[in-house]
Copies of this chain bind each other. A is one copy, B any other.
């Protein structure tokens, strides 16, 4: 089974039938994968406003109509209740369950948000000869809470979470250029170099994900991370919030290059 060469709809069918329950990295190569956050309608305007005010950490790819599980913009034949391999259920801010479909949790009050993910800019970095350390080391990208405040919207507020990729000095300028082309999937870095400037005391101890090695000829480069909106929504302790499980993303029909502005 060559999941890399599958079309997005083939990959989603496999996931929907529970024949694929693992992380989605590498599936339907070249097509954009997205983070999921589902909230009740009464929080949806504030959350959408929060994302609109903080486009770097919260780049929205699609928002469903209230009650509809269909992301019409990015995958009109998909069903967000079944097409992700693993979901997490949070009640009052606490993780209460991990499930392979959310049919029994879904109701007409719900709005689903699909948020851009850094997978989309990692391939263009690699195409430019810039290796991605956490892929080389076969682990999760390291993520950190920072002292960079997001812009508040209603009840949503808190610090930005960033992801870090070590980049060789000779490649730093190119890494800025390449990721600047993708403003709707985090875009240009938010910081280059000394981690303490953005409130990170020990770069070897990420708050989420795994530590990766930084070599002598490299600097740590930090991008706004799609974990931010989930972390911030959690502070609000909504009655219910549903997300994808880390690494188990939603596969859209959009090509990565659709999100490049140049």
Residues of A at the B interface (CB closer than 8 Å) are 41, 44-45, 48-49, 52-53, 60, 62-63, 65, 72-73, 151, 153-154, 180, 183, 187-188, 261-262
Complex: A29 Cα to B52 Cα, angstroms: 26
List the 4 shortest-distance A-B pairs measured between CB atoms, nearest first. Answer: A45-B45, A183-B261, A180-B262, A48-B48
* Interface pairs (17), CB distance under 8 Å: A41-B45, A44-B45, A45-B45, A45-B48, A48-B48, A48-B49, A48-B52, A49-B63, A52-B52, A53-B62, A53-B63, A65-B153, A180-B261, A180-B262, A183-B261, A187-B261, A262-B262
The answer to whether A53 and B73 have CB atoms under 8 Å apart is yes
The answer to whether B73 and A151 have CB atoms under 8 Å apart is yes
Complex: A65 Cα to B154 Cα, angstroms: 7
Complex: A132 Cα to B49 Cα, angstroms: 34
Nearest CB of chain B from residue A73's CB, rounded to whole Å:
6
Q: Which chain B residues border A151 with CB–CB below 8 Å?
A: 72-73
Majority secondary structure of chain A interface residues (helix, strand, loop or mixed): mixed
Nearest CB of chain B from residue A248's CB, rounded to whole Å:
25
5 new A-B pairs (CB below 8 Å) besides A52-B52, A183-B261? Answer: A44-B45, A48-B48, A49-B63, A53-B63, A65-B153
Q: Which chain B residues border A72 with CB–CB below 8 Å?
A: 151
The answer to whether A188 and B261 have CB atoms under 8 Å apart is yes
Nearest CB of chain B from residue A101's CB, rounded to whole Å:
25
Nearest CB of chain B from residue A2's CB, rounded to whole Å:
33
Q: Which chain B residues border A44 with CB–CB below 8 Å?
A: 45
Identify which of B53, B60, B73, B183 contacts A183 (C-beta below 8 A): B183
Nearest CB of chain B from residue A261's CB, rounded to whole Å:
5
Complex: A45 Cα to B42 Cα, angstroms: 10
Complex: A113 Cα to B183 Cα, angstroms: 22
Complex: A183 Cα to B73 Cα, angstroms: 19
Complex: A151 Cα to B73 Cα, angstroms: 8
Nearest CB of chain B from residue A81's CB, rounded to whole Å:
20
Q: Which chain B residues border A261 with CB–CB below 8 Å?
A: 180, 183, 187-188, 261
